[in-house]
Amino acid sequence: MIQILQLDVRGMPQDWITPEDAATYYATNSVAWTVGSVIKTLRGGHNACTGLQSRIDVHAIVATTGASRINLFDAVPSLSNAKLFRRDRMTCAYCGGHFDEGHLTREHIVPTAQGGVDDWLNVVAACRGCNGRKANRTPEQARMPLLFAPYAPSVFEGFLLAGRNIRGDVHDWLISRLGSHSRWTNPSFKVGQHNYLQ
């Protein structure tokens, strides 16, 4: 399925939408500007006077007028396992192994049993084996140091983590707006390079 990145008029990502959703913004003159190439052309009805068929060219990124739902400074992307595992590049934070989604877990650095919260800064991807071995202990208590630090993704990164089959031009547009802390903009990210203790 083609996903269109919807922005507000200032360029803040708002949603992944379908080409049909995007077409309704074009049809109501709510598109302020676009980025990227035309990725789909939708054809509508025929004009009774001219006989011409209406046609809407939908671009990969569409900035729409109207109220913003997501602002730059107060939005933290919602936490999900799928996004967490992608943030951590499908890598276990304790053994450094690469795993598929079915073999990774959401690991609380400070265990919830010890008051740890369920947010981006207290979770990492961990394989089932490491998660079981660490159990309800902190990294220090378990003598299992983290191989990399957790971080809260920006709005732009949140959309990158949530998107599926993101087109190259949309991917590049989002990547160019990520902070330097992001693992997406740090190609030299290697497990074990940054030993990190809470």
Q: Which residues bind Zn ion (CB under 5 A)?
A: 92, 94-95, 127, 130
Shortest Cβ 93–Zn ion spacing (Å) = 8
Shortest Cβ 128–Zn ion spacing (Å) = 8
Shortest Cβ 40–Zn ion spacing (Å) = 42
Residue (92 or 170) nearer to Zn ion, CB: 92
Shortest Cβ 38–Zn ion spacing (Å) = 45
Residue (6 or 131) nearer to Zn ion, CB: 131
Residue (127 or 146) nearer to Zn ion, CB: 127
- Cα 42 to chain centroid distance, Å, stands at 27
How far CA 6 is from CA of 22, 30, 39, 77, in Å, comes to 8, 11, 14, 16
Q: Residue 164 and residue 170: Cα distance in Å, rounded?
A: 11
Residue (40 or 103) nearer to Zn ion, CB: 103
Residue (94 or 120) nearer to Zn ion, CB: 94
Exposure string over 161-193, b if 16+ CB within 10 A, otherwise e: bbbeebbebbeebbeebbeeebbbeeeeeebee
**Tokens found for residue 91:** 């890598």
Shortest Cβ 180–Zn ion spacing (Å) = 27
